[in-house]
Amino acid sequence: MSRRYDSRTTIFSPEGRLYQVEYAMEAIGNAGSAIGILSKDGVVLVGEKKVTSKLLQTSTSTEKMYKIDDHVACAVAGIMSDANILINTARVQAQRYTFSYQEPMPVEQLVQSLCDTKQGYTQFGGLRPFGVSFLFAGWDKNYGFQLYMSDPSGNYGGWKAAAIGANNQAAQSMLKQDYKDDISREEAVQLALKVLSKTMDSTSLTSEKLELAEVFLSSSGKVKYQVCTPDALSKMLVKYGVTQPAAEA
């Protein structure tokens, strides 16, 4: 029955479903997973980089983590070309707000603004939904540290811990079991790496397959976005017992 309704983004099926939006979510389910965890002193984002071919030149820039403004960053799962358009849109909106009001844009307002753009692509003919989900991590003076998840439909919600991408259901259930309200940033990193090690398709975790970023307040009280280097990430994996130390020749 769905064949009559799934070719258009703007037509509901008799069950009240928008099939194109569901197909976009299905595409995200095949992408490298990303996990976000809210701690008392920051937000941790960890993403899995899909290595499609050993002949592919590894990117020097981050593939899953993006800085939107000084106080907001995001992790991505889905079609990267779609994500680039939305990230650029979010960056422009954040700068416009700062230019107009001389202060950083509140995190939820930025997320809602971007989700309004995504929702428009589910409502008008001739367009397809963006095949990408985001985890937004940020800090503002109103609500402190925040973590939001948004999907192709334009829906978003605040989360304490969330997973998007491949095996997100399994990762979400593990996070539900192990997450604690008073978790520290270091414990959040440990939990994220543990969950990813058990839900990733590959058998072993290495720094080449992972990206880790944190949003936290520096000692001077400024919001800081920091991406973990491959060397530091390798040490973390060994420290938390996720991988074994390399044997000396």
**pLDDT value at residue 192:** 94
pLDDT score, position 61:
66
Provide the residue ranges of all domains of the chain, joining segments of one domain with +: 24-239
**Burial of 29 from C-beta contacts in 10 A (0-12 / 13-18 / 19+):** middle
Work out the number of other CB atoms within 10 angstroms of the CB of residue 245.
Answer: 10
Cα–Cα distances in Å, from 61 out to 89, 106, 124, 221, 234? 20, 27, 35, 27, 18
Q: Does domain 24-239 have CATH number 3.20.20.70?
A: no
pLDDT value of residue 248: 42
For the chain, 249 residues long, the average pLDDT of each consecutive 10-residue run is 66 85 90 94 92 71 88 95 96 97 97 96 87 96 96 96 94 94 94 90 78 94 92 89 57
17-24 long-range contacts (CB < 8 A, ≥24 apart) are: 18/122, 18/153, 20/122, 20/128, 20/129, 21/122, 21/129, 21/152, 21/153, 24/78, 24/128, 24/129, 24/130, 24/131, 24/152
| pLDDT of the residue at 249 | 36
pLDDT at site 2: 52
What's the pLDDT at 246?
Answer: 54
The pLDDT value recorded for residue 17 is 85
Q: Which residues pair with 214 in a beta bridge?
A: 44, 226
How far from the centroid of its chain's Cα atoms is residue 170's Cα? Answer: 16
Torsion of CA 28, 180, 231, 213, to 10 degrees: 50
Cβ–Cβ under 8 Å, residues 99 and 77: no
